[in-house]
Amino acid sequence: MIEVQGLSKRFGDNQVLTDISAVFEQGKVNQIIGMSGSGKSVLTKCMVGLHRPEEGRVLYNGRSFHDMNDEEKRQVRQRIGMLFQGSALFDSLTVLENVIFPLRMFGAMPKSEMEDRARECLKLVRIQDKDDLFPSQISGGMQKRVGIARAIAMEPKYLFCDEPNSGLDPQTAILIDDLIKELTEEYNTTTIVVTHDMNSVMETGENIIFIHQGRKWWQGSRQELLNSDNTELNEFIYAGSLMRQVKEAMSRRS
Amino acid sequence: MGIIGHIGRYFLLLRETFSRPERAGIFWRRTLEEMDLLGVQSLGIVALLSAFMGAVITIQTKTNIDSPLIQAWVVGFATRQSVILEFSPTVISLILAGKVGSNIAAEIGSMRVKEQIDALDIMGVNSAGYLILPKLAATILINPFLVMISMFLGIFGGWLAGVQAGVISSDDFILGIQTGFKPFHVTYALIKTVVFAFIITTISAYQGYFTRGGTREVGISSTRAVVYSNVVILLANLVLTRVLLL
């Protein structure tokens, strides 16, 4: 479980996050939603320690991350898997080497076992026979899946996904959503997905946090999301025609 | 950020860089790869420049001191001194700042803007140590060899050009390069080389590591890496010369 308490972050005079408190539950797909520029990615980066917040704490199983010493932080980070918006695969390493990388840095297994584990992770994300290709030689969707394989190689306790569906076709986006859901169940991870894709929210979101203008505006389940009367939240979720049609259908049925 | 801020951040980056490598085996393998990329692959340009510059120094020295009062071997002496004291350690380092420095800044800068450095940090890898320390170890180990090769080829190029052009006899040139030789001058040149290798690598890595933006900013970082490395090399050259030779 990850808990955020009173977290605020600013860059110079620009206050990006203000007094955010939230609980991200283990074994669930927790989603942070909000418009572009609302502070979702900054919140995630504060949670994984890439940014230091001016105020507030991030607790990993009850322990404040920013108060830990370097060794303790390293140990927590080795239990974090992260899928970046742009995949962030290492250009000069092949697909297999990218997945092996965290195992090579921290694992204590022989090379053949590392390769077996990496291939197992690639199989989980449905990538085979691409071991020797470089990231530039595979599609964006495949890059995301290799990114997921790398993120789960160390069997993480915490899985962060920053806009995993951005730039992908609908079918690949659904595949990525399914993978995230499956992996959360299989590894019982605390999964945090940053997204503004409402299809993804309706598909996988179990604990949803809506960030608006750098503040936590709303938190609840998928069902509560559809029934919410929060104006800003409704403006966000019903901005697309598909969601408006869902709402109209629900109104007619009721 | 002001210059004091940059200097402070540079030293903080150095502290991160010199913290314990993740795994000694990976560190040494990466160091060998970087020695090849940053050192061995610079051998061609270093050899070419050294031979031609040695040749030009010999011919220019001869044309400038063409006097019956000055003995012929002085041309060999002047060529040796120019090559060992200044050309090989300083000019070759300035050229390496252009080739190697821009390479380091562009590589690390690209990794920064593509979030690959963030990925390393989140995995718990000390990104500064992982990326910069092997490059630093590589340049500090390989650059002195490059400079020694440059010294040899510079003097050889001077001898070849001088003899071929008929400006000096082979015996006079060889007498000149043997006359008044002080082994400390080679030590001085190698000390400068090591300091310059440190400057090139760390300044270029700093520029790359703190790149923000996109490909345009990576280009700007590469340019800055070369310009700032050159300026600091020239300042360090003056300081080291005063400290070691006076």
Which residue of A lies nearest to B110 if distances are taken between CA atoms? A91
Show the low-confidence residues of chain B (pLDDT under 70). none
> Which pLDDT tens digit goes with each residue over B58-96?
999 999 887 888 898 999 999 999 999 999 999 999 999
Residues of A in contact with B115 (CB under 8 A): 84-86, 88
Interface pTM (ipTM) of the complex? 0.84
Indicate the domain borders of chain A: 1-79+157-226, 89-155
CATH code of the region A1-79+157-226: 3.40.50.300
Q: Which helix (H) or strand (E) holds B73?
A: none
Which among B131, B140, B96, B144 is positioned nearest to B208, based on CA atoms? Answer: B131
Establish, for the pair of chains A and B, how many residue pairs have beta carbons separated by less than 8 Å.
55
Distance between the two ends of chain B, CA-based, in angstroms? 37
Which of A50, A74, A91 minimises the CB distance to B118? A50
Does position A204 have pLDDT exceeding 90, yes or no? Answer: no
Using the Cβ of B114 and the Cβ atoms of chain A, whether some distance falls under 8 Å is answered with yes
Does position A247 have pLDDT exceeding 80, yes or no? Answer: no
- Alpha-carbon separation of residue A164 from A92, A160, B74, B194 (angstroms): 22, 10, 71, 46
Which of B110, B122, B125 minimises the CB distance to A50? B122
C-beta atoms surrounding B214 within 10 Å: 12
> Residue A184 is encoded by which pair of tokens?
């959360």
Residues B229/B204, Cβ–Cβ less than 8 Å: yes
Using the Cβ of A102 and the Cβ atoms of chain B, whether some distance falls under 8 Å is answered with yes
Which among A215, A201, A190 is positioned nearest to A165, based on CA atoms? Answer: A201
Q: Which of A163-167, A237-241, B87-91, B196-200 has the lowest mean pLDDT?
A: A237-241
